């Protein structure tokens, strides 16, 4: 199981989720997990954002598939159902959020963020709490609110507990991750290791550190990350 802030390859991500992840929204894979892939790079096809000092992700729904004879999907409203009435991924996520609003436990969603080609970051496990549509560029798109969670994932992928103050659940802004990865050349700053890397706060958030500046974030391998955590405790 990955830890929030852990840097992984695409193949490692697929192996962990027991699926070939080809799309951004994956509601209840055969493993029972719900997974989303996000990107906030300059060329990202969707507008995702991070709020509440890293506690909340606002994730944009996905367009209708591109097909011959159809208009550009970016000109069409995002859909909750297919022409045959089957729920799209948007529709499945929307239904889960609505069920949570009606009193069911929130769907747990594992969130991965693309750092660069073939390189991803596990942002953590989030609770799907809200869904809505809003206008965007002359069409309507889905938005989903995801909040960090406290409890370990249950077998059925749902939980109600929400975290509020644990440092490692805070998502580091994408631009900071990219800057740090490039600055540290994809290596642990202490030993030069290139595997089992994590984004680490130089000064912990609980001691006044911030996720908003690259100067307070560094790459550490798992061994040095654990060693530092032990010293802080």
Query: How confident is the model over 40-57, as pLDDT tens digits?
Result: 888 888 999 998 888 899
Reference 123, options 224, 5, 12, 221; nearest CA is 5
* pLDDT for residue 161 is more than 80: no
Q: What is the pLDDT of residue 178?
A: 92
Average pLDDT over residues 67-95: 94
* pLDDT for residue 233 is more than 80: no
Q: How far is CA 27 from the centre of its chain?
A: 14
pTM listed for this prediction: 0.86
* pLDDT for residue 159 is more than 50: no
Angle value at C-alpha 120, between 119 and 121, nearest 5 degrees: 140
Task: Name the DSSP letter for residue 195.
Answer: S
Q: Who wins on pLDDT, 44 or 81?
A: 81
Which pair of structure tokens corresponds to residue 205? 């958030």
Residue 37 has phi, psi (to 5 degrees) of -110, 130
* pLDDT for residue 166 is more than 50: no
Query: How confident is the model over 133-150, as pLDDT tens digits?
Result: 999 999 999 999 999 886
Which pair of structure tokens corresponds to residue 11? 């193949």
Q: For residue 206, name the pLDDT band (cuts at 50, 70, 90).
A: confident
CB atoms within 10 A of CB 14: 15
Q: What is the pLDDT of residue 149?
A: 83
All structural domains of the chain, each given as residue ranges with its CATH number in brackets, are 6-171 (2.30.280.10), 172-233 (no CATH)
Mean pLDDT of the chain: 88
3-state secondary structure at position 197: strand
Exposed e or buried b per residue across 150-176, where buried means at least 16 C-beta atoms within 10 angstroms of its C-beta: eeeeeeebbbeebbeeebbbbbbbbeb
Query: Distance between CA 8 and CA 115 in Å, rounded?
Result: 10
Q: What is the pLDDT of residue 230?
A: 53
């Amino acid at each position: 199981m990955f830890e929030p802030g852990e840097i992984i390859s695409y193949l490692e991500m697929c192996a962990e989720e027991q699926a070939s992840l080809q799309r951004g929204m994956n509601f209840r894979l055969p493993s029972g997990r719900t997974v989303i892939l996000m990107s906030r790079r300059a060329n990202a096809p969707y507008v995702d954002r991070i709020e509440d000092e890293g506690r909340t992700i606002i994730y944009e729904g996905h367009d209708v598939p591109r097909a011959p004879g159809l208009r550009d999907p970016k000109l069409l409203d995002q859909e909750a159902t297919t022409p045959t009435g089957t729920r799209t991924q948007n529709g499945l996520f929307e239904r889960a959020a609505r069920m949570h609003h009606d009193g069911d436990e929130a769907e747990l969603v594992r969130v991965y963020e693309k750092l660069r080609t073939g390189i991803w970051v596990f942002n953590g496990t989030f609770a799907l709490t809200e869904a809505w549509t809003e206008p965007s560029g002359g069409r309507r798109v889905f938005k989903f609110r995801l909040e960090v969670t406290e409890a370990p994932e249950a077998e059925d992928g749902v939980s109600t507990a929400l975290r509020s103050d644990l440092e490692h659940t805070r998502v580091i802004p994408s631009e900071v991750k990219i800057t740090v990865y490039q600055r540290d050349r994809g290596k642990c700053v202490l030993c030069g290791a290139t595997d089992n890397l994590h984004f680490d706060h130089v000064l912990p958030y609980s001691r006044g550190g911030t996720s908003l500046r690259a100067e307070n974030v560094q790459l550490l391998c798992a061994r040095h990350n654990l060693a530092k955590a032990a010293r802080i405790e």
